[in-house]
């Protein structure tokens, strides 16, 4: 029986054309972030298990891949299984996001970093997801974070840099949905929700666009949350926008005024970012403490990235709180929207040669073209030349030339489009 040769479930191989598209997109994102004053760092793919499972990663901690300690005996496995404590057998784990490693990195290197540190992290992460369309067990994250800036300047810089990256990628029609965790807390307090039910209530509220008002009300009731006027409040918040100050009407009793004022500052500072105030926006990570935001697109039913302020996380490592805010682009979702042709095919050429062509002559021709700034592939002529050229075109090559026996210099080559 043949051995399976596919990648592990939820992980993928990338053919040359796909890899080229991904690298082009990553290059654009990197250069866009760097242009806005962010510096790239690198952290290990693994962190200590205790750190990964310290409560900083929210629900993602449940999806982490653990690395077993060396030298374990069968009895150790049996005892841990009987105690339902298999995690105690691991001392390391693959990172499931880039935020926890960043918090550790900052705590480790704070003395060597500027007072306000603007970081770029672009790297793969791993989660034990149930593989399905758009969800993978290994995927790329593209994060920018600002540590040490407590004011709105952090959010303004993060959103500005992210919008620039989206524009440079050629993605149009995107907007930024924005809210504040303080507004959500104020809303739950207005409903008299016990603090121990906050996170579960927010998970339900986050479904508003899918299960509508009636569905949210019904699910909240199953949690024992049934304050008078919940349905009316939900109807109200679905209609709330930026016009609260101009309406002249009494401000909603559930609105946190200070948080809303901070959001207005962002809107005024970012007139071209298409900010949309959405008091139902939750974001799943429990470590957010203030502003939260997501990238929305009118043609897609899912976000293309998001982030927010997480002022309490780094203090877990340092013993004193440090303000922090971050934005992550959903690379795997965005790269699927990009066109494969990046305009470089014209500069990628194929030289088709006969089987018995002089290798030295071929190398000289190739070297001259490479020196002139071209990308060059040598291909031995086959009976099915059309199929050969089609494969080259799919790999990103745009032109070809046939090397004749009498060809001496690169100037003698006659290039034709691969489509001909």
**Quick one: what percent of the chain has pLDDT higher than 70?**
94
User: Does residue 199 carry a pLDDT above 90?
Assistant: no
* pLDDT score, position 41: 98
User: What's the rounded mean pLDDT across residues 366-372?
Assistant: 94
Phi-psi region of 177 (alpha: psi -120 to 50; beta: other; left: phi over 0): beta
Instruction: Report which secondary-structure segment, H or E, holds 359.
Output: helix 359-371
* pLDDT score, position 360: 93
Mean of all residue pLDDT scores within the chain: 88
In this structure, are strands 117-126 and 138-147 parallel, antiparallel, or unpaired? antiparallel
User: What's the rounded mean pLDDT across residues 156-172?
Assistant: 95
Residues 6 or more apart in contact with residue 367 via CB below 8 angstroms: none
Length of the chain: 420
pTM of the model: 0.86
Give 339's pLDDT tier (boundaries 50, 70, 90): low
Q: Give the integer Cα–Cα distance in Å for 253 and 255.
A: 6
pLDDT (tens digit per residue) in 128-162: 888 887 789 999 999 999 999 999 999 999 999 99
Residues 6 or more apart in contact with residue 78 via CB below 8 angstroms: none
- Per-residue tokens: 142: 């593209």
User: What's the rounded mean pLDDT across residues 77-84?
Assistant: 71
**Concatenated DSSP letters for 160-186?**
HHHHHHHHHHT--S-EEEEEEHHHHHH
User: Does residue 258 carry a pLDDT above 90?
Assistant: yes
CA distances from 291 to 190, 193, 207, 299 (A): 20, 21, 19, 25
Name the CATH code of domain 345-417 (choices 3.40.50.800, 3.50.7.10, 2.60.40.1930, 3.40.30.10): 3.40.50.800
Give 91's pLDDT tier (boundaries 50, 70, 90): confident
Give 300's pLDDT tier (boundaries 50, 70, 90): confident
* pLDDT score, position 203: 86
User: What's the rounded mean pLDDT across residues 79-89?
Assistant: 72
Residue-range domain boundaries for the chain:
16-44+97-335, 345-417
Q: Give the integer Cα–Cα distance in Å for 367 and 399.
A: 17
Q: Give the integer Cα–Cα distance in Å for 198 and 218.
A: 16
User: Does residue 401 carry a pLDDT above 90?
Assistant: yes
Give 285's pLDDT tier (boundaries 50, 70, 90): low
Q: Give the integer Cα–Cα distance in Å for 363 and 130.
A: 49
Q: Which residues in 360-398 belong to E strands, given as ranges? A: 375-380
Give 248's pLDDT tier (boundaries 50, 70, 90): low
* pLDDT score, position 1: 57
Q: Give the integer Cα–Cα distance in Å for 254 and 180.
A: 13
Give 198's pLDDT tier (boundaries 50, 70, 90): confident
Do 16-44+97-335 and 345-417 fold alike per CATH?
no
More confident residue, 414 or 236: 414
Give 400's pLDDT tier (boundaries 50, 70, 90): very high
User: What's the rounded mean pLDDT across residues 259-277?
Assistant: 93
List b or e across 11-20, with b for residues whose CB sees 16 or more CB atoms inside 10 angstroms.
eeeeeebeeb
* pLDDT score, position 299: 81
CA 314 to chain centroid: 21
* pLDDT score, position 319: 80
Residues 6 or more apart in contact with residue 17 via CB below 8 angstroms: 340, 394, 395, 396
CA distances from 283 to 81, 269, 288, 289, 370 (A): 34, 23, 8, 11, 49
pLDDT (tens digit per residue) in 17-53: 889 889 999 999 999 999 999 999 999 999 998 888 8
More confident residue, 345 or 139: 139
Whether residue 154 contacts residue 62, with contact meaning beta carbons closer than 8 Å, is answered with no
CA distances from 181 to 61, 90, 418 (A): 21, 34, 54
Q: What DSSP state is assigned to residue 239?
A: T
Give 113's pLDDT tier (boundaries 50, 70, 90): very high
Residues 6 or more apart in contact with residue 152 via CB below 8 angstroms: 262, 265, 266, 269
User: What's the rounded mean pLDDT across residues 183-202?
Assistant: 89
Give 295's pLDDT tier (boundaries 50, 70, 90): very high
The β-bridge partners of 120 are 40, 144
Find the range with the poorest average confidence among 83-87, 98-102, 136-140, 222-226.
83-87
Indicate the CATH number for domain 16-44+97-335: 3.30.930.10
Whether residue 171 contacts residue 337, with contact meaning beta carbons closer than 8 Å, is answered with yes
């Amino acid at each position: 029986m043949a051995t399976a040769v596919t990648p592990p479930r939820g992980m993928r191989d990338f053919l040359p054309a796909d890899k080229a598209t991904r690298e082009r997109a990553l290059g654009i994102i990197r250069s866009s972030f760097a242009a806005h004053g962010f510096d790239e760092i690198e952290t290990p793919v693994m962190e200590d298990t205790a750190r990964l499972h310290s409560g900083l990663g929210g629900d993602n901690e449940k999806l982490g891949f653990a690395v077993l300690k060396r030298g374990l005996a069968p009895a150790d496995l049996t005892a841990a299984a009987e105690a339902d404590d298999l995690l105690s057998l691991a001392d390391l784990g693959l990172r499931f996001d880039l935020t926890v490693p960043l918090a550790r990195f900052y705590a480790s290197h704070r003395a060597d970093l500027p007072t306000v540190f603007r970081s770029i992290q672009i790297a793969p992460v791993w989660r034990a997801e149930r593989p399905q369309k758009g969800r993978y067990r290994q995927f790329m994250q593209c994060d920018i974070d600002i540590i040490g800036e407590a004011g709105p300047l952090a959010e303004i810089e993060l959103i500005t840099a992210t919008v620039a990256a989206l524009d440079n990628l050629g993605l149009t029609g995107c907007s930024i949905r924005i809210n504040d965790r303080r507004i959500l807390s104020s809303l739950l307090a207005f409903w008299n929700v016990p603090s121990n039910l906050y996170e579960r209530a927010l998970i339900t509220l986050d479904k508003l666009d899918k299960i509508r008002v009636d569905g949210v009300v019904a699910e909240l009731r199953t949690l024992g949350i049934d304050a008078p006027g919940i349905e009316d409040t939900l109807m109200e918040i679905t209609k709330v926008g930026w016009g609260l100050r101009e309406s002249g009407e009494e401000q909603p009793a559930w609105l946190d005024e200070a948080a809303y004022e901070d959001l207005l500052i962002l809107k005024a500072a970012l007139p071209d970012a298409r900010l949309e105030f959405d008091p139902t926006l939750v974001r799943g990570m429990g470590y957010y403490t203030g502003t939260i935001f997501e990238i929305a697109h009118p043609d897609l039913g899912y976000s293309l990235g998001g982030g927010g302020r997480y002022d309490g996380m780094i203090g877990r490592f340092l013993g004193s709180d440090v303000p922090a805010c971050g934005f992550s682009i959903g690379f795997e979702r965005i790269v699927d929207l990009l066109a494969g042709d990046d305009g470089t095919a014209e500069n990628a050429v194929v030289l088709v040669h006969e089987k018995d062509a002089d290798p030295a002559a071929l190398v000289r021709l190739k070297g001259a073209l490479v020196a002139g700034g071209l990308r060059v592939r040598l291909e031995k002529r086959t009976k099915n030349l059309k199929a050969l050229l089609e494969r080259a075109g799919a790999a990103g090559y745009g032109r070809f030339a046939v090397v004749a026996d009498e060809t001496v210099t690169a100037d003698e080559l006659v290039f034709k489009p691969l489509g001909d």
